[in-house]
Structure 1
Amino acid sequence: MPKDTPAGECPQCWQHAHDRRIHRRLKPGQNCPQCVDHMINGHPYLVPKKPSRWW
């Protein structure tokens, strides 16, 4: 199982990029319907980053 989604990343993109089990059922050359929908419609949300305390 992959690590938790890092700050500033989309959970779905992160999971689909790092968990091979998700795309295992797809045939060669077949696109993942969830990934295609996500590319067309964009990210539902991003994991928030912690506020910068540099200043």
Structure 2
Amino acid sequence: MAARETPPGGCPQCWQHAYDRSIHRRLKPREDCKPCLDHMHNGCPPDQIVPKKESKWW
């Protein structure tokens, strides 16, 4: 599957893990993905978030 473009305000790692099945294919049944768990519990690092476009309606 082709990589999807991460939308503004989104985390590239979370989007990749959500849409690329090959990442989780290597996991055993009922085994959790450690990077996904880290992001669920601790949140996404602010430096990884794709910046949103500046609003220019003023």
CA RMSD in angstroms, aligned pairs only: 1.1
Q: Which runs of 5+ in 2 are unaligned?
A: none
Which residue number corresponds to residue 17 of structure 2? 16
Structure 2 partner of 1:34:
35
TM-score (norm 2): 0.81
> Runs (4+) of structure 1 moved beyond 2 Å?
none
> Structure 1 residue 41: deviation in Å?
1.6
Tell me how far 1:53 sits from its aligned partner.
1.5
Partner in structure 1 of residue 50 of structure 2: 47
Q: Of Structure 1 and Structure 2, which has the larger fraction of its residues in helix? A: 2
**Percent of paired sites with the same residue:** 64
Alignment deviations for residues 13-35 of structure 1 (CA, whole Å, 9 cap, x no partner): 11110111110101111110111
Shift of 1:47: 0.5
